[in-house]
Chain A
């Protein structure tokens, strides 16, 4: 029997096929639809539709606002938790971490349904606080995505750096501000991207928590259900561009941190 040997190129084939079928091809289709009109001719009308209507721009800003607030709330909750979990000597901290990740195993629509009932008990008529509820729902949904990168970056931090800082006379606040916080910036950045972008489009949470405003995801869906692939694709494209810009900025940020880390210490 001949031995099985694969070259590197051959090993890449499954992924390349996946990439072409499910990433590149759909992107081309989106691009095609975004810049054509109903008659299949090249046109910028979808583009100008989006950027001249105060309603669609309003949705863009609303989604952004919702996503930013959600991200900040997630960060404020997750950072101390991750810090305590990573730096403390609790014996069963893996169990504790598990408790935070556990809800992720349950389908998120079920979790939101449960949350809806809890909020109804707390607030009475929950349709009076649509923005607040959406933020709570999204935070509930995305907290683990913020927690895990933070935990990893704090966990792998070298303890001797902190000891060295204390030896050189830094008090605990200074150690945190000058050593721990800068070293955990890559964790913060990756956590923020993991929360910010999905929460701009996660309209199921809004639907289930009775927020009648459209966000980017529901806007795309609404165009598609009127068979308008062109405007829908243009909005998807706008989202893609936003994701691209955010990725560029965060990459620069974390690289810079990695480069300057030595000089800062």
Chain B
């Protein structure tokens, strides 16, 4: 017996050791980079068609991660292995991290970046990464000045306190991957009046009762609600005021938001997590709160089905969101090589041709501003050269791609206001909003210690309230419960109550 147990335990031990043996760093030469990012957020390869730009074809044959590994192993004197995993929500990632999962590089949204930085979980990118004279530093050289520039950029305008009360900013701590706006995807043919979709109040508009969906997510729902509540104050407000109003988390605002959200809940089709895309295409809903990247995907898939969908950024305000790469402290022993590998990965994704591959695969907008990306946009949306000059115009993108950058595109894909500004359009509008839209965009900060209060508000909205139950319902439920209780009692005690136990004539009762 003992012998058997010894053999068994030996076998088990070997079995347990085998998987670990695989990832041990052979002679210290293979470095495992553990990356965690959103689902479907990177090119997985297997394309049928190449993007045939003038500067050369771009095609995703293998996945981006495989290409990185191959490139790295050929050009460096040590080897790298990438363990790529995905998460479904930012909270998922945070919970995993707090349960002790270890990653070297993660790609959460802006508010989670701020939370992780504030809690001191990250490591700065090295100076070598920001050295612009090195051409290999694609991120530092190519990132758009609008996202992470010297002054008046999205990153520079974010100021938040870490847990020790010190002000920190995102610059040099995170590398932006994809960005976009928050708006409404809609089907213009089914709207009475197109101007309805120009406001967040579309969500509570009774004209469209049970025809519009809202995101099933506290932050996006809260943002849209604040847009409705603050509609008057937001008009003509400066950017700083806009930002303060849309980031308000005082109890009074939360209370107002609760009432408004209850209204919205009774008016919308549903709170949606993943079904929005399909429901728009099948025509179950006519408008849908969406992130710009998903909006592009939805419009593309609807085009294939012959339905023309549009994207609107409500005139009150919009949420400028972004996802960024963060180097985590808990990725074990940050040796020089690990820094190098992680930064090489971010730089590899920032190569213009790779940024284009990712954009083409997932539909979101990369933070990389480069001639090639611009060329790709032209390839995608540029007007025909022989088009009637009446039908085309120059779409100004200088804020993102630098001075003088403007695309010649068809007018039919944009809707012009009287003063010539654009608030609604199709794919290109969703990918790169015009300057007037970007100006009313604010970054939504982390709720911080107000999270539990806002979450309680959300629960109050989503849970059926006993106080709202009408007396009639109480009466019906009460009487059903009463009747069934009486019936059960009668059934259980039926012998005691109804059946007579006296023996019949001619029989005798036998005592046990």
Contact = CB atoms under 8 A, between A and B. Distances in A.
Interface of A: 2, 4-5, 53-59, 61-62, 65, 120, 125-128, 207-208, 210-214, 218-219, 222-228
Contacts of B218: 226
Contacts of A2: 1, 3-4
Contact of B462 (A53, A54, A214): A214
B464 A56 contact: no
Contacts of A213: 462-464
Contacts of B469: 58
Nearest to A56: B463
A143 B468 CA distance: 32
Contacts of A126: 284
B462 A61 contact: no
Interface string B446-467: 0000011001001110111111
B436 interface: no
9 contacts: A2-B3, A57-B466, A58-B463, A61-B466, A223-B455, A224-B91, A224-B95, A227-B98, A228-B452
B118 to A, nearest CB: 14
Contacts of B311: none
A225 B466 CA distance: 24
Contact of B1 (A5, A54, A223, A227): A5
Contacts of A58: 463-466, 468-469
B89 interface: yes
Label chain B's interface by main secondary structure.
helix
A218 B211 CA distance: 23
**B273, B459, B460 interface centre (most CB from chain A within 10 Å):** B459
B21 interface: no
Contacts of B462: 212-214, 218, 222
B271 interface: yes
B438 interface: no
A4 B466 CA distance: 63
Contacts of B460: 53, 55
Contacts of A54: 465-467
Contacts of A226: 91, 218, 451-452, 455
Nearest to B218: A226
A65 B480 CA distance: 12
Contacts of A224: 91, 95
A227 B218 CA distance: 14
Contact of A219 (B1, B4, B463): B463
Nearest to B447: A226
B95 A56 contact: no
A59 B464 contact: yes
Interface in B177-226: 210-211, 216, 218
Contact of A55 (B211, B284, B463): B463
Nearest to A4: B4
Contact of A56 (B265, B270, B459): B459
B270 A210 contact: yes
Given A2-B3, A208-B275, A227-B91, A59 B463 contact: yes
A223 to B, nearest CB: 7
A127 B270 contact: yes
A225 B91 contact: yes
Give 10 closest A-B pairs by Cβ, nearest first.
Answer: A210-B270, A226-B455, A55-B463, A54-B466, A225-B91, A58-B464, A58-B466, A214-B462, A59-B463, A127-B269
Interface string B228-260: 000000000000000000000000000000000
B160 interface: no
Contacts of B399: none
Contacts of B216: 207
Given A125-B210, A208-B275, A222 B459 contact: yes
Contact of B459 (A5, A57, A219, A227): A219
A30 B270 CA distance: 32
A62 B477 CA distance: 12
B80 to A, nearest CB: 33
A144 B204 CA distance: 41
Nearest to B89: A225
